Structure 1
Amino acid sequence: MRVRGKRRSGFCMIKFIATDLDGTLLDPRGVLPNEIFPLVARLSECGILFAPASGRQYANLKKLFFPVWEKTIFICENGALVRQGDKTLYLNALSAAPIKGILDAVRRTEGLFPILCGADNAYIENKEEPFRTRARGPYSNCIELQSLDEAIEREPVCKISVYNARSAQEQGMKVLPPFLEGLKLTLSGEHWCDISAATADKGEAVKEIQKQLGLAPDECMAFGDHMNDLGLLRACTHSRAVENAYPPVRAAAAGVVPSNAEYGVLKTIAALLREREKENIHV
């Protein structure tokens, strides 16, 4: 309820905040700042939903945000999966038919290592380092198999994440497209690219959340830094790139906030909460 006589600003209309993690909310060491937990609690008290939006799996995100996981919507696997609590709100899985051919194409290219990302578990077949360690970073539930072919029918496959030993831009993004007709290949990090259904995207996931929860784009804020965040930013009127974002991401955002090293996302959320309190708005 708004105090009579005061005009509610666009900033104070926000009911939903989504943020990328690596390179955006996490600091340059890849650490989640503890300050996010009281901020998420305060957002919840104000009726504002908070959503980490990441290429990580649900189990990893739930563990990372465990102190506030029940107050959080999780956009997982670059938008292929959305969960609130343990309820699945949205799943955009790959068809099983082309997966074997995709895995074979990845296997044939030196320096590429696939991860089969299911709705509940991730699967790897390569034991080489540093791939093995890096795969277990974003995938807490990670199962090692002799061959990923064994996992194709185990559970819905959200995406195939590909680790590139040198550079994803120079390796996977160049050699894989001919094998991916009707699918999407997204650059998601210096060493990572992701293969998903053509419509799987963080932005599409946000649009589904907006549809299910009755939210308008101008009630939504998003933060990002990389190419896989473009859809996320475009789905939210109040889009913000961090200072360290890729130039195309900065160009697509409505504004730029301080870098992840300067905790720009935390500062912006804190400013929103101060303005909400200043306006004396109770949602």
Structure 2
Amino acid sequence: MDFSNTTIKLVATDMDGTLLDPQHTLSDSFYPVYQALKEQGILFAAASGRQYYNLANLFEPIKDEIIFLAENGSYVVYQGQELLVQALDPSMVRQLLQKAKTIPGVQVVLCGKKTAYVQNTDPAFMEQVDLYYDKVEVVEDLLQVTDDAFLKIAICDLAGAEANSNTYFQAEREHLQVTVSGKIWLDLCHKHANKGRAMEVIQEKFNITPEETMVFGDYLNDLKMVQKAYYSYAMENAHPDIKAAARFRAKSNSQNGVVEVLQQLVDATSKMPAARPEEER
């Protein structure tokens, strides 16, 4: 694509299935491209269902420079400042945990601002938890955890979230964000907690329009984020609904598709004056 006549001020990308490769690792080629974006005044945001602490560790060298949209947009942090905390009502958390207990074969992560909580340490489940959460506390009963702000309830459904656990929460969709965020993950969040709302908060703070925004995504929890950018990219490996919603296509995450597009952007915009977004005062 020709970016020579574009003004991009913000790039946001999902992690798993998008920027990260199939082994959930970040390519070494990312950092030189990121540095070039930074030099051109383009903000970078990591948007993920992952825990904030996990994302901060993943981007350790630049964690004080980039924006984090963690827990599917429930928690937005920039340079140590909380831009958005969209926590669930405690009574709703209790109801959802009780309902989740009735679903056969699933495990639950209660995602707090301080840490993530689990009460089952089944090895297959913990292998998944360890991928996305760096701060985890094992408790006897999730219902007894009260001293935290709860950003999300993540249901790990090894049978497949979209066709299984997803069907148990149809009634809750009226007052909650119920999102299939991966093949084995179902996320329950505050009604206004999603990556699209988080993008609005960032765009408003830095006076950036959708036409000045580029996003990348692959799964259903990226849908509302994709709708907040003109330069919306679906990965080649994306869910069909994301491909239908996005304007453009990037190569698969196994082919480093995000970095390839960002390199094209860098090459085109390096010939133009830097776009420096200014924070609202």
TM range (shorter): over 0.9
- 1:253 is aligned to 246
Which residue matches 1:205? 198
Residue 142 of structure 1 deviates from its aligned partner by 0.6
Q: Report 1:62-73 matches (<5 A).
A: 62-73=56-67
**Contact map agreement 1:40 1:68 (CA 8 A) in 2:** no
- Equivalent residue, structure 2, for 1:24: 18
8 Å contact kept, 2:108–2:154: yes
Distance 1:179 1:201, change over 3 A: closer
User: Of 181, 188, 200, which residue of structure 2 is paired with 1:188?
Assistant: 181
2:279 is aligned to none
Q: Tell me, in whole angstroms, the C-alpha distance in 2 between the residues paired with 1:253 and 1:170.
A: 24
Query: Could you tell me how far 1:165 is from its partner in structure 2?
Result: 2.1
SS in structure 2 of the partner of residue 174 of structure 1: helix
Query: CA offsets per residue over residues 160-196 of structure 1, 9 Å max, x none?
Result: 0000021101211112334565112100001001000
TM-score between both structures, scaled by the size of structure 2: 0.94
1:35 to 16, 29, 35: 29
Indicate if the aligned counterparts of 1:58 and 1:120 stay in contact, CA closer than 8 A.
no
Matches of 2:24 and 2:79, distance apart in 1: 24
TM-score by length of 1: 0.93
Partner Cα separation in structure 2 for residue 18 and residue 116 of structure 1:
26
- Number of the residue aligned with 1:164: 157
Distance, in Å, in 2 between the alignment partners of 1:8 and 1:164 is 45
Q: What number of residue pairs does the alignment pair up?
A: 273
Give secondary structure in 2 for the equivalent of 1:105. helix
Taking the aligned partners of 1:148 and 1:136, their CA distance within structure 2 comes to 18
Aligned-partner residue type, residue 16 of structure 2 = D
8 Å Cα contact 1:220/1:238 also seen in 2: yes
Residues of 1 paired with 2:202 and 2:247: CA distance?
21
Alignment of 1:36-55 (within 5 A): 36-55=30-49
Question: Is it true that 1:9 corresponds to 2:9 in the alignment?
Answer: no
Q: How does 1:199-278 map to 2 (within 5 A)?
A: 199-277=192-270
2:117 maps to 1:126: no
Cα RMSD over matched residues? 1.4
Alignment of 1:134-149 (within 5 A): 134-149=128-143
1:134-162: CA deviation from partner (whole Å, max 9, x where unpaired):
112100001110011222x2111111000
Superimposed CA distance per residue, residues 43-62 of structure 1 (whole angstroms, 9 cap, x where no aligned partner): 11111000010000110000
Does the Cα contact within 8 Å between 2:4 and 2:269 map onto a contact in 1?
Answer: no
Q: Look up the SS of the partner of 1:38 in the other structure.
A: helix
- 1:228 and 1:52 map into 2 onto residues whose CA distance is 14
Match of 1:280 among 243, 249, 272: 272
> Between the two proteins, what is the percent identity of the paired residues?
33
| SS of 2:64 mapped into structure 1 | helix
2:278 corresponds in structure 1 to none
In structure 2, relative to structure 1, the CA distance for the partners of 1:282 and 1:184 (3 Å cut) is closer
Determine the C-alpha separation between the residues in 1 that align with 2:173 and 2:196: 21
Q: Secondary structure at the match of 1:132?
A: helix
Per the TM alignment, residue 91 of structure 1 is displaced from its structure 2 partner at its CA by 1.1
Aligned to 2:107: 113
2:249 maps to a residue whose letter is V
Structure 2 spans left out of the alignment, 5+ residues = 276-281
- Once the 2 structures are TM-superposed, how far is the Cα of residue 129 of structure 1 from its aligned partner? 2.3
Instruction: Give the secondary structure class of the aligned counterpart of 1:101.
Output: helix
Task: Give 1:21 deviation, angstroms.
Answer: 0.6
CA distance in structure 1 between the partners assigned to 2:153 and 2:49 by the alignment: 11
